[in-house]
Amino acid sequence: MSMIEKIKAKARSNVKTIVLPEGDEIRTVEAAVKIKADGLATPVLIGNKDAINATAAKAGVDISGIVTIDPLKSDKAASYTETLYELRKSKGVTPEDAARLVSDPMYYGIMMVKCGDADGLVSGAVHTTGDMLRPALQIIKTKPGMKVVSSSFLMDCPNKDLGEDGLLVYADCVVMPCPTAEEMAHIAVSAAETARTLCGIEEPRVALLSFSTKGSAKHDLVTKVQEATAIAHALAPDLLLDGELQFDAALVPEVGASKAPGSPVAGRANVLVFPDLQAGNIGYKITQRIGGADCFAVLQGLAKPCNDLSRGCSVEDIVNTVAMTAVQAQ
């Protein structure tokens, strides 16, 4: 069974409610029908009902069994407005601003998750990453004890000798452009948790990546990764974690043995933590496009799961992301 099929099986075992704020978008409507039919989650489409129905008619799908909510006609809008105002008034949000924001399907969906009326959210078929992330960061916030929200890419590689039977977790490839050493350490701990809870990897082995292995090069950028490694050790003393390691020292047993002898991680890492977003984003695309890996992205570190899609996503990508979100919510 592929990794994504295992995640889908887990999603079906404890069905969660996942809100889709881009409710009148055609791929989203088609995905909602599949998600419901496959028992992966209870989808909720947000938007104008006429627009949602028109999209369903265009797609030729029956959405009669799917919950749809129009923020402009919702009974909950007033209480969400009040809650949003209380949460954000110290940032200059007025009651009028809060009412306007709640009428926006994205913010309405985020408020459903915040207030416990949905277990998670998936968006991004229309919105940019920043437009999807900002309300989640502002309102859902980080988990207790977690300093930053970041992302992991689950890379299902054709070479099954790599990582965990071909599965590698890459972080962060979406959110934090220039993490500090402390932020990189939190990303490492979050990625290990994603590996454990979402991918079922019992023993995450975390490599903090650099262009240097164990002091082979000297540079401020290398020092940052060394500091991040020390902080991550302190945050999660029981985690198998090492740095700074080059990509090949992290993944290839012979290179790991020669460049970092005695390391509990070198040569057998299954979680790879990149030093910044340029490296992480480029790295996952190389693995996908040249390495032929299937890749699946999730956000991590949020108090409740919200996930982003690529605007080029397929119906299947939305279905997969909803399944992952549902598992994160369990």
Stretch that binds ligand ACO, among 100-108, 170-178, 246-254, 257-265 (CB under 6 A): 170-178
Q: How many residues bind ligand ACO (CB under 6 A)?
A: 17
Q: Note whether 314 binds ligand ACO by CB under 6 A.
A: no
Nearest-5° Cα angle at 189, 128 to 16: 60
Q: Residue 154 gets which letter from DSSP?
A: E
Interface pick for ligand ACO out of 194, 210, 281, 320 (rule CB under 6 A): 281
Residue closer to ligand ACO (CB basis): 271 or 302: 302
Q: Which residue is nearest to ligand ACO (CB)?
A: 137
- CB-based burial label for 287 (10 Å; 0-12, 13-18, 19+): buried
Site for ligand ACO in 117-156 (CB under 6 A): 129-130, 133-134, 137-138, 142, 148-149
Residue closer to ligand ACO (CB basis): 67 or 87: 87
Distance of CA 136 to the CA centre of its chain: 12
- CB-based burial label for 312 (10 Å; 0-12, 13-18, 19+): exposed
- Of 191, 187, 168, 167, nearest to 177 by C-alpha is 187
d(CA 13, CA 185): 33
- Total residue count of the chain as it appears in this document: 330
Stretch that binds ligand ACO, among 63-71, 175-183, 198-206, 260-268 (CB under 6 A): 175-183
> Which residues of the chain form contacts with ligand ACO (CB under 6 A)?
91, 129-130, 133-134, 137-138, 142, 148-149, 174-177, 281, 297, 310
